[in-house]
Amino acid sequence: MGVDLESISEATSGAIGSLLSTTILYPLDTCKSKYQAEISVPGNHKYRHISDVFWEAISSGNVLSLYQGLGTKNVQSFVSSFIYFYSYSYFKRLHSERIGSKSIGTKANLLIAAASAAFTNILTQPLDTASSRMQTSEFGNAKGFWKTLTEGTWGDAYDGMGITLLLTPNPAIQYTVFDQLKQNLVEKRKAKANKDSSPVVISSFMAFLLGAISKTAATVITYPLIRCKVMIQAADDTNDNEAKKPRERIKKTIPGVIYAIWEKEGVLGFFKGLQAQILKTVLSSALLLMIKEKITATTWFLILAIRKTLFVTKGRLKSS
């Protein structure tokens, strides 16, 4: 079975887009995660607004701590995006070949996206857990990647795995909505141009807009689970003295987190930080998809050039 160059091209461009969008928006992501991880008791808020997290970093002289865990997050984003886009593109192509049509239905698209997301999450969960703990640690007290990952059992590295799998519809909804909107737009433009053979490329602004719409829909639908996941994976609260003492990590469960939110914050607590989540994820996903759309063609030509070079080199070696 040959290498699927088209899927590799999709995966590479998606991974690069994810890497760039993650880096650009990382300080916002850190503020959002720390804000979401806090259980607010009436009259006792450490963070009343997401901006309070930012000002805490400024006032404590730990501005660079807004980037704590960036390296781990970038690795996780690149690897997970590559695996996701490769499997998504590959399975979608197989399905298209089986039904004999390049256009696949919404249900099939959703199932393929969900399966790809679940497969990706299982492989990259330890990286996700480590980056979340590093992000939500006290400013200036974040541990290194390996120490964060190995301070508990390997089971702890998969904290939140259950809720992560429950969240697989999130990217599935996002990319399905994006693909369907893009497909409709491209078909309309093809019909107007009346040129079936010529490729139609959407603009950067349109890719950004479609990405924003698709991610907003996915985020609103799945947000209560998103907040529970952040709380499960968040670093344990420690003060300066306790941070130096090794201690057993407190195991957090989905029912326990749901009960804590319900008891202390009520129904609205499940949507605490929704605006910040939408702002961050919409910008991130829209940037990712915009960058991916613009570099896909370049990535494809580079891969073809590399393959051609390898074949030429291989031919020379055989003839010598």
**Domains identified in the chain and CATH numbers:** 5-235+249-319 (1.50.40.10)
Cβ(5)–Cβ(296) below 8 Å:
no
Ranges of residues in the chain with a pLDDT under 50 are: 1, 197, 240-244, 246, 317
Instruction: Return d(Cα 230, Cα 46) in angstroms, integer.
Output: 17
What pLDDT is attached to residue 84? 85
Rg (CA), the chain: 22
What pLDDT is attached to residue 194? 63
What pLDDT is attached to residue 242? 46
3 state SS of 210? helix
What pLDDT is attached to residue 200? 62
Global pTM reads: 0.69
Instruction: Return d(Cα 63, Cα 59) in angstroms, integer.
Output: 9
Q: Which long-range contacts (CB under 8 A, 24 or more apart) does 27-30 make?
A: 27/54, 27/66, 27/67, 28/276, 28/279, 28/280, 28/283, 29/73, 29/135, 29/280, 29/284, 30/65, 30/66, 30/67, 30/68, 30/69, 30/135
pLDDT in tens, 72-84: 888 888 888 888 8
Instruction: Return d(Cα 213, Cα 290) in angstroms, integer.
Output: 13
* Farthest-apart Cα atoms in the chain, separation: 80
What pLDDT is attached to residue 43? 65
